[in-house]
Every structure is written in structure tokens, then in C-alpha cells.
Structure 1
Amino acid sequence: MKNSIKVFAPATVANVVCGFDVLGFAVNEPGDEVEMRFTDTPGVVIKKITGDDGRLPLDSAKNTVSASVQHYLKHINRLDVGVEIELHKKMPIGSGLGSSSASTVAGLVAINKLMGDLLTAKELVPFAMKGEELACGYGHADNVAPALLGGFVLVRSYEPLDVISLPTPAGMYAAIVYPEVDVPTKDARQMIRSKVALKDAVTQWGNVAGLVSGLFMNDFDLIGRSMQDVLVEPTRSILIPGFEEMRKLATENGAIGFGISGSGPSVFALTRNEETARIITKSQQQHLHKININSKAFVSPVNAEGPRVI
């Protein structure tokens, strides 16, 4: 059995426009890294966090990584185990790219590997959801499931949890732009309507079904037609400066579809190839620069492998 390990877990795009809390996919970059080692003293300790500008708690009960690791150790009845954790944030916090889930997943994969792979990736999802609950008050799985499993994931049901891996069409790329403005997940969730019109619900159901069908059929046009959100995006997009102009630039430059990543402020476009993705991110960053907003861009194929040991 190894005594120490280092694990990378990827960023994720949740919701995928029409699939609020039920759809997500992983990307190759950015992501977070966790270093973990056994110690002689029982308990879980966060020794060090880098890249967070001091924003994340070192208190093991309040940090999503250590808290989910503690849940895991309790589940396997090994509270006698002692581990020390170093978390290296390699992605922006509050970006809408599943920052908390990448950290949590890296930690869970690390402890599971150190303990001899006692649980499958799918069995780790509920423990990662505990971390999400700590981070934003609600234990959703549309970030943690793709971060753990890779690729596109559908959360068919939460009670009981039913997570399904979906195929990714060959050649698909994600063009992600993160405008450096603050949109806290909790605030963004509070803006969402608690009741929706039946007409809007029917539209949304059709789009989710169309998007899933498009992934199975390798039908980029069907995927694009289905990437419309009549429930959440109209409200959340108000919080993102330049959103409509970025949508226009994505569409004009050949995007399959465009929308908000998670709760924002990051936006993403799906494309048929890498070149189109790079043209889209460049044009969107130029627009944000004109309106005095700094941004970061990430171009990546859909990540099929999920976390990896470094």
C-alpha cells in the first residue's frame, strides 16, 4: 500500500444550458491537485493550501476536501487512519467551473487509492456531494459526477441517486471564458424561480431529451438546437457582463451552442474542432477587454478520463 499520492481532478461545466442540476461534462483544464500522505495520528488534517489567496478554510471540518475524506473514512469504518492533505488550487474559485468539486474529487480519489480502491468512482459520488453541500448549501452532483467519471454525465435521479455516463461525439471541444467578476453560487441559486409555467417545463424537457439524443447520435445540429434554457439562463445571464455579445460572437464564429457554465460567470461554447474553439475564446476575450473586464480562457476537448494520479 502506498504511503502518499498526488491526484489531479478536472474542472467541469455543469447544467450544459438546459440540464439544470442534471447534466455536466469534464474538461482537461483547468483543475485542482491534492497531495495526501498517511500520518501516525488518527484524523484528517489540512496542512497547506496554495493558489487560493487565503480564501479557503484550513479547519478540517469546514474544508470540502477534508470533510468529504472524513465521510469516506467513517463509511469504511477506518476512523483510526491519519492523513495529511495539501490542496493546490490550479483553477479560479467562484468561476462556475466546479472549483470546489475538483478539490473534493481529487481528495476522495486520493484517499480511495491510498486505501486500496475500496469504492468505485460512481460509489464516491455521494461523498463528493457532501463536499458540495458544504461549499454552496446544496449537494448537487452535476459537477462532482463528471469530475469523478469523466465525459458527459446525466444525473437521472437524486433520490435514489442514479448517475449515467453519456457518449461524447468525436472531435467535440469546449471553448470556456471566465470573466473575472464575482458571482457567488449561493446568490445565483437564490435568483432562480421556485415555480415554472408548464409550457416552459415542456420546452425544457424537450431540450434535455434532444441534447442527450444528440450526444448518442453524434448529431451536432440536434445538440445545438437543444442548447436552449428558458428557466434559469434568462435570470442568471443578467449577472454576467457582456453575456449577449459573447453569445453572438460564439454563434457567428461557428459554435454548436453557447451558455453559462454552472452558476457563472464562466461561459462556454461547444464546437466541432479546436480551431473554432480558439477563435471563439479570442473574440470573446477581446470584447471583455473593451468593456474593461479581465478574463481567462480555456480550450479543451471533453475530458473522458476524469481524475488522474500524477
Structure 2
Amino acid sequence: MEKDSVHVFAPATVANLVCGYDILGLALDEPGDEVIMERIDKPGVYLKAVTGDDGRLPLDPAKNTVSACVQMVLAHLGREDIGVEITLHKHMPIGSGLGSSAASTVAGLFAINQLLGQPLTTRQLLPFAMKGEELACGHGHADNVAPSLYGGITLIKSYDPLEVVQLNVPEELHCAVVFPHVDVPTRAARQMLRSKVDLKDAVVQWGNIAGLVSGLFLNDYGLIGRSMKDVLIEPTRAILIPEFYEMREVALKCGALGFGISGSGPSVFAFTRSRDIAQEVTKCIHAHLDEKGIGSNTYVSKVNTEGPKML
């Protein structure tokens, strides 16, 4: 049944999970973005307001991912006679490596689908979300939008054809996330990466990806931790993140299973086997960064298996 207005939340995400560049990601309980969408008499998609972005995001509906993707959906469904007004509330830092653009995009797509009585499945919404990522950062990857849209931990088995697999989430698994207040633009972080890799490094990476996926399904926390190693991407991206290796040392000393960069950074994350350990990890890393004169935001969360939701 169609609605006159909806208020939705879409979660932030951790992409790559250290060894799974562009193919692995998970959804967090917090932070995330909220969208309020209301039907209006005038046809078209209008961006009423954006809060929490310090004026950094465009208000042009064709250039903001939340509204641009709604325009695409309405065109796809032949419903361009409909008018909607969108308010976007950003509750997460932009450029944090926590899927900020993905959360906005998914919130908008989930909202318009709810408003229209759910004419599209989650699988049908995913390509529109990837178009939003392309608009935001120049690359239509799915490792942020897929977990934000589906919830849980997702594996992009292939991009052509697009195939997403939802992985098992061990019951005790928690995430400790720290966003250091340093700037690492996503486009710049991608441009630094090598276009070719050594076969011996690729073999190591394949083993770690397979080990991580196996550890998730086997509920083997030790195997999960041992598999959280990246020989392809992390050595390059870590250069852009002050105190990265020191933060990893702190996390592992505090009982983290494994530690790495969230997306393109600068956020970092650790897997732990309890909320208490996750809270200790974030507290210790925050204190370490504070000593170095670097501010930070911290988040502790289980893996969010629900994905976007109505508020």
C-alpha cells in the first residue's frame, strides 16, 4: 500500500573487512543516516534540506545521491508524475570510510520503495544504489551499499552478472570502530592502488578471504582473526592514516581478533568477541590518538542484520 510520508534509517558500513577489497562489507547498528520523504502535489524530486553535513553536500536533486537515485527509480517505474520532498539528516561523518554516501543513497531508495508500496525487491534496488556510489566517488562498487541495503555481512560474488551472497554472522561478533579526524579522500585513496599484483601476494589474499568467510560460517573466531590480513591494499592506504600501525598494536593488545582499515579510511575497525572488549578497544585507541593530538569518534556495534528500517 502506498504511503504519504515515511521516515527511514539506513546504516553505516565497514567495507573490505581487511582482505576483501570491493567484495566484502558489513552493516553497523550506528552511526547511519535518516531520510524523511513526503509526497507533494508538484511532480518531481525536491531536496528540502540536508542537516549534519556542514553545508558540504549539494542541494541540487540531480547531484545529491539521495535524490538522484530516487529520480532514477521513478523514471524506471514510469512514475515521474509523482512529486516527493526529501529531508536528509546526516548522523555520520562525510569522508569517514564508513559508507556515508551509501547510507544516504540506501535511505533514499528504501524510502521511495516504501512510499510506493514496495514495487521493487532489495535485489532490484541494488543497481540503483551502485549508481549512487558512482555519482559520489566515481566508482560504482557495492561493498558499502550491499550491506547497508541487505543488512548483515555481504559478499559480492561477482559484478557482472551482479551476485550478492549474505554470509553468516557469528552471535558474539562485535565491531569496534574509530574515526580519526584526518582527511583521506576516497578518490585519492583509490588512485594510489597498484593496478597489477604479484601472484604470490594474490595467493595469500585468496587464502585470507576464504579463511575469513569460512571462519564466519564455522563460528571460528580464531580463524576470523588470523584471516584479517591484507597484503595488497592496506600497505598503501595505511600511509595515509596517521598512527595506523600503532592503533593496530593497541587493538590487538586489548583483545581484538583482528584490525584494519574501514573502506578507504581513515576509519579503522576491529572485530572482537564481546561488546566489553569492543568498548575497551575503542577507549584505548581514542586515548592513544588523543595523546598524539588527533581527535576521534568511536562506535561500538554488533553486526546489523536488519539493514534499513522504518522509524
TM-score (norm 2): 0.99
What amino acid is aligned across from residue 91 of structure 1 in structure 2? M
Q: Does 1:257 align with 2:258?
A: yes
| Alpha carbons 1:122, 1:148 under 8 Å: kept | no
Q: Percent identity, please.
A: 66
Give the aligned partner of residue 48 of structure 2: 47
- Residue aligned with 1:255, SS: coil
- Higher mean Cα deviation, 119-128 or 144-153? 119-128
| Alpha carbons 1:122, 1:145 under 8 Å: kept | no
| Alpha carbons 1:174, 1:271 under 8 Å: kept | yes
Give the aligned partner of residue 222 of structure 2: 221
Q: Does 1:142 align with 2:143?
A: yes
Query: Cα offset for 1:42?
Result: 1.3
Whole-Å separation in 2 of the counterparts to 1:176 and 1:223: 17
Q: How many residues align?
A: 310
Whole-Å separation in 2 of the counterparts to 1:86 and 1:125: 22
In the alignment, structure 1 segments of 5+ residues that lack a partner are none
In the alignment, structure 2 segments of 5+ residues that lack a partner are none
Within 5 A, what are the aligned runs for 1:31-110?
A: 31-110=32-111
What amino acid is aligned across from residue 260 of structure 1 in structure 2? I
| Alpha carbons 1:14, 1:143 under 8 Å: kept | yes
Query: Cα offset for 1:138?
Result: 0.3
What amino acid is aligned across from residue 254 of structure 1 in structure 2? G
| Alpha carbons 1:227, 1:258 under 8 Å: kept | yes
After superposition, the C-alpha distances for 1:222-259 in whole angstroms (9 at most, x for unaligned) are 11111100000000011111101110011111111100
Give the aligned partner of residue 134 of structure 2: 133
Within 5 A, what are the aligned runs for 1:102-251?
A: 102-251=103-252
Runs ≥4 residues deviating over 2 A: none
What amino acid is aligned across from residue 59 of structure 2 in structure 1? L
Give the aligned partner of residue 288 of structure 1: 289
Query: Cα offset for 1:10?
Result: 0.4
Whole-Å separation in 2 of the counterparts to 1:236 and 1:257: 17
- Residue aligned with 2:135, SS: helix
Query: Cα offset for 1:77?
Result: 1.4
Query: Cα offset for 1:80?
Result: 1.2
- Residue aligned with 2:166, SS: strand
Query: Cα offset for 1:74?
Result: 1.2
| Alpha carbons 1:237, 1:243 under 8 Å: kept | yes
Whole-Å separation in 2 of the counterparts to 1:289 and 1:203: 35
- Residue aligned with 1:28, SS: strand
TM-score (norm 1): 0.99
What amino acid is aligned across from residue 95 of structure 1 in structure 2? S
- Residue aligned with 1:199, SS: helix
Whole-Å separation in 2 of the counterparts to 1:139 and 1:278: 33
Query: Cα offset for 1:122?
Result: 2.1
Query: Cα offset for 1:171?
Result: 1.1
